[in-house]
Amino acid sequence: MKQIILIKNDKLKQSAFAIDYCFYLYENIIKEVDFNTIESLILKKEKEILKKYSSGSDGVTKLGSKSLTSRHQKFNVLKWNHKEIKKLQKYILLHTKEFLTTLLLPIPGDLKIQCWANVMRKGEKIQTHLHDCSHKAYISGHLCVSSMTTHTYYIDPLKYFAGKDQRIYKSKNEVGKITLFSANIPHYTDTVMDDKERITLAFDITTGESFLKPNEKKL
């Protein structure tokens, strides 16, 4: 299923002040991990994490202070000691390398990852946000653990304020689907309409610093 999606200029640059740009998304399916087990682990640890850590920023998702998302910097799913989590990290790294290789980009030897879980219930949605627009922005990711009928939408950053001309890539959420994308792409989700939880993993991959941030893990 591997595919690369390009978000780029729709017309040729005709001015010295116009912008040439290209943002990348990579999608594939991870079949080698038991996502039913991952789902159970997340739901089991949800109350523990909410009780142990106070809420912080929910990353402008508007999921609020009672969400796992508002603790996204205070825990790292990939630090959980479970064989399926170890397999999961292996395949996140594998697909990250494949993404970079496909784009003919070097694979850094110092990749690090911060990975958290999002648990959404009926009536909830993730509002438009992005992970990093700094000069160090690298790769962010989304991995679907449990989903019924939702989608994630990725907005062309240079068309964000274009009204009816805004360009959006619509990605169906499927169990095991991994999406890797430039960390500065705004994105949002549908509202959950089902009684079953929509459970996903989100992560930021960074490189270039010699030390690990709190809860960050070598990839």
Q: Please compute the mean of the pLDDT values over residues 167-190 and round it to a whole number.
A: 96
Residues listed for the chain: 219
Residue with tokens 């990939």: 78
Q: What pLDDT does 208 receive?
A: 84
Nearest Cα to Cα of residue 92 among 34, 28, 150: 28
Of 15 and 10, more confident? 15
Four-residue CA torsion sign, 108, 102, 136, 42: negative
The angle that helices 35-52 and 83-102 make with each other, rounded to 10 degrees, is: 100
Q: Between vectors from CA 137 to CA 133 and to CA 140, what angle results, nearest 5°?
A: 100
Q: How many DSSP H helices and E strands does the chain contain? A: 2, 10
Q: Which long-range contacts (CB under 8 A, 24 or more apart) does 54-61 make?
A: 59/129, 59/131, 60/127, 60/128, 60/129, 61/118, 61/126, 61/127, 61/129
Lowest average pLDDT, out of 30-44, 80-94, 160-174, goes to: 160-174
Q: Please compute the mean of the pLDDT values over residues 151-155 and round it to a whole number.
A: 97
Question: Residue 40 and residue 16: Cα distance in Å, rounded?
Answer: 54
Taking 70 as the threshold, does the pLDDT of residue 210 lie above it? no
Taking 80 as the threshold, does the pLDDT of residue 211 lie above it? no
Q: What pLDDT does 91 receive?
A: 98
And the tokens for 86? 């170890």
Taking 80 as the threshold, does the pLDDT of residue 26 lie above it? yes
Taking 80 as the threshold, does the pLDDT of residue 56 lie above it? yes
Does the predicted TM-score (pTM) go above 0.85? yes
Determine how β-strand 177-182 pairs with β-strand 139-146. antiparallel
Q: Which fold has domain 3-7+28-218?
A: Jelly Rolls (2.60.120)
Amino acid at 6: L
Q: What residue spans define the domains of the chain?
A: 3-7+28-218
pLDDT band for position 4 (50/70/90)? very high
